[in-house]
Amino acid sequence: MVPALFDAFPTLTEPQPARGYAQLPYLSLGQFPTPIERVLAPLQGGCELWVKREDLSGALYGGNKVRRLEFLLAEVPPAGESLATFGGYGSNHVLATGIYGKKLGCRVQAVLYPQPLVPAVRAALRADLAVELKLRLCRTYFGVPWELARLSRQRPAPRLISPGGVDPVGVLGWWSGGLEIAAQVAAGLAPRFDAVYVALGAGDTTAGLLLGLGMAATEVVAVRVVPWPVASSLGVRLLARRTRALLIRRYGQAKTAGPRPKLRVEGRFLGRGYGHPTPWGAQAIQRGADLGLILDPTYTGKAFSALLADVDSGRLAGKRVLFVHTYNSRDLSSLISAGDLGMLPHWLRSRLADNEPAPR
Ligand SMILES: Cc1ncc(COP(=O)(O)O)c(C=O)c1O
């Protein structure tokens, strides 16, 4: 399936010799369009809830990273390239890059920094090890620049795949995602939405949605799952602007302007910080499960808790709302059981052991 971005801007598939650019590199990794489904259980005030099932975006691994990687990994020369990236110990971006990078025959290294060692993080580390990611584990955030500098001194230097927020190429995937939702609305598969709720980390997903949704939604509510200033309204807007500028500069796509949804950044549901579970997130995970949604404590649980708070306060009475389900729901159990935590350094193994859930 051709990404919606190419339908909207056909010149992206053509080389631009006058500007000195080849056609926009793209590599199909996922399964798109992802469905939009209605949640049939009634919600307070008659709020109509729909879910963008991005959790099903790839057969190997789903979630919001797959669309980004279709553009970011397309810039990588064929098999054998060495890639590097970074993220928290349980980073979905790192795992997705490891899984899809390996599929392309690349060697992938990742610098990981601390985050609370909840069970999902332990599972992600196991899966990282099972896909043979070469992990460079930092004990504190301060180790990250040091490890990245060491990576840059390797010869040949690995290609750095950003986890988000800095590279407009990564936003193209979600620009396409926004256009995809707009096309689904135009085709009558879903209604026009009053609000779209999404977890806000580095901002690629939200920036792309703002660029692509057009008239399909009135407002995007981006729920912070990392603190300010990493997640900020200004950061999202700048990222969107830079991405638009990239298409205009390279492909002459001046008609990228158009009606946009409003952006509301919601910061009240973050709790103590990135990766720290919250009581309201836990409640949202439970209520999500009752509605048939499997959510996680770091991203989707917090985003859904914001949506539910707006339902409960009556703010969404009579509204049509789309929840973007950004967390992988493909079964990773075979990867998780294959990953050997014994390959981690002793200091991390003992921290993981300290956080092991007590046997019941
Ligand atoms: C499951 C999940 N949802 C949402 C996000 C936030 O996406 P973005 O960084 O594009 O704001 C992330 C980012 O890591 C994620 O892993």
Q: What is the pLDDT of residues 161-213, one digit of tens each?
A: 999 989 999 999 999 999 999 999 999 999 999 999 999 999 999 999 999 99
List of residues 6+ apart from 90 with CB closer than 8 A: 115, 118, 120, 121, 122, 123, 124, 125, 275, 298
- The pLDDT of residue 14 is 87
* Best-predicted range by mean pLDDT (4-18, 244-258, 345-359): 4-18
Query: How would residue 257 be classed by pLDDT, with cut points 50, 70 and 90?
Result: low
Q: What pLDDT score does 241 carry? A: 95
Rounded to the nearest whole angstrom, what is the distance from the C-alpha of residue 352 to the centroid of ligand 1?
24
Of 96-105, 258-267, 351-360, least confident by mean pLDDT is: 351-360
For ligand 1, the distance from its centroid to the CA atom of residue 166, given in whole angstroms, is 14
Q: pLDDT tens for residues 55-86?
A: 999 999 999 999 999 999 998 776 678 999 99
What's the mean pLDDT in 3-27? Answer: 88
The predicted structure's pLDDT at residue 254: 58
Q: Which two tokens stand for residue 181?
A: 């939702």
Q: Which residues contact 260 (CB under 8 A, 6 or more apart)?
A: 210, 211, 213, 214
Write down the pLDDT at residue 163. Answer: 92
Ligand 1 atom with the smallest distance to the CA of 327 is: 1
| Integer angstrom CA distances of residue 275 from 52, 63, 280, 324 | 23, 17, 14, 19
Nearest to 298 by CA among 79, 150, 91: 91
Mean pLDDT is lowest, of 15-24, 148-157, 211-220, 281-290, for 15-24
Q: Is the CB of 54 within 6 Å of ligand 1? A: no
Give the largest Cα separation in the chain, rounded: 67
Q: pLDDT at position 65, please?
A: 98
| Cα 17 versus chain centre, distance | 33
Angle, in degrees to the nearest 10, between helices 92-103 and 65-72: 50
Using a pLDDT cut of 70, give the percent of the chain over it: 97
pLDDT, averaged across the chain: 94
Distance 105 CA to ligand 1 centre (A): 25
* Closest approach atom of ligand 1 to CA 201: 11
Mean pLDDT of 263-279: 97
pLDDT at res. 360: 46
Amino acid 256: pLDDT: 62
Mean pLDDT, rounded, for 87-110: 96
Q: Stretch 98-106: mean pLDDT, rounded?
A: 95
Select from 213, 84, 201, 246 the least CA-distant residue to 149.
84
Whether 68 lines ligand 1, by a CB cut-off of 6 Å, is: no
- Element (H or E) spanning 125, and its range? helix 119-130
What's the predicted TM-score (pTM) here? 0.96
